[in-house]
Amino acid sequence: MRTFVLLGLVCLAAPAFAAGESKVAVNVPAVNVAPPSAAARALLEPKLKIRDAPPGTAPRVALTFDACMGQADSRILSTLVYERIPATLFVTARWLRNNEEAIAILRAHPDLFDIENHGENHVPAVDVPVKIYGIPAAGSIAAVEREVAAGAAAVKAAGFSQPRWFRGATAKYDVSAIRQIRQMGYKIAGYSLNGDGGSLLGAAMTERKISGAKDGDVVIAHINQPTHEAGAGVVRGIMALKHKGIAFVRLSEVDGVGDAGTTQ
């Protein structure tokens, strides 16, 4: 029964996806063509990988954590510090306002943590008015610019370096927003392995996903949900990778290669 339902969903989804793709691929002049409606605008969820480790060296994985809003997950943060595991954190202005204690820990370990831009208010960086997972997108070019610029300003005001990477809320974008954010000077951080399913997975599933990371993977997980089970799985997954001999790297240390024009 379950298989049957799943197959039905796949069949329903496939034509819709193909139709959305073709809108991006067809390169018609903007003049004389009506702009795509908000509903028809294709959203991309870009991938990011890091280059393979040089021969004879340990496999490399980049751990990235989003701090969207709310609190800090001290289970994860203290593990990273205690085990000396480097990571890249994407933080919003909203999260920075409420987590002074965690920020002090991040500031005290510049050798471990890169702090990058997750936007000002955690609104998706999409320049048409759509909702993604129920979250209203920025909705205009000006609002995308504000989300990115004010997010970066908050990172700097908190005492960290000028961000080089941006990851928008929900990690989805439209093509024009990707171009705009690149023109503002940022690379866009996709990912290759979704570690915690938006912090909604159980601990065992999260552990299994993260511990399966391979050389070149960019893992995304959340560090702002201290009450969710997923965080316990994040810790166990990271420790499993460490015991396998994985070398952890930050995005500033390696070549990140993204698709859809997000890094090149």
Residues near Zn ion (CB under 5 A) are 66, 68, 169
Dump the DSSP string for 78-117.
HHHHHHT--EEEEE-HHHHHT-HHHHHHHHH-TTTEEEEE
Q: Which is nearer to Zn ion, 149 or 240 (CB)?
A: 149
Task: Give SS3 for 160.
Answer: coil
Q: Which is nearer to Zn ion, 66 or 73 (CB)?
A: 66
Q: Which is nearer to Zn ion, 192 or 225 (CB)?
A: 225
d(CA 176, CA 141): 9
Distance, first Cα to last Cα, the chain: 45
Nearest distance from C-beta of residue 169 to Zn ion, angstroms: 5
Nearest distance from C-beta of residue 43 to Zn ion, angstroms: 15
Other Cβ atoms closer than 10 A to 18? 9
Rounded to 10 degrees, what is the CA torsion of 238, 48, 43, 31?
160
- Residue of minimal Cβ distance to Zn ion: 68
Q: Which is nearer to Zn ion, 68 or 102 (CB)?
A: 68
Nearest distance from C-beta of residue 122 to Zn ion, angstroms: 6
Q: Which is nearer to Zn ion, 66 or 174 (CB)?
A: 66
Nearest distance from C-beta of residue 77 to Zn ion, angstroms: 16
d(CA 125, CA 127): 7
Nearest distance from C-beta of residue 118 to Zn ion, angstroms: 6
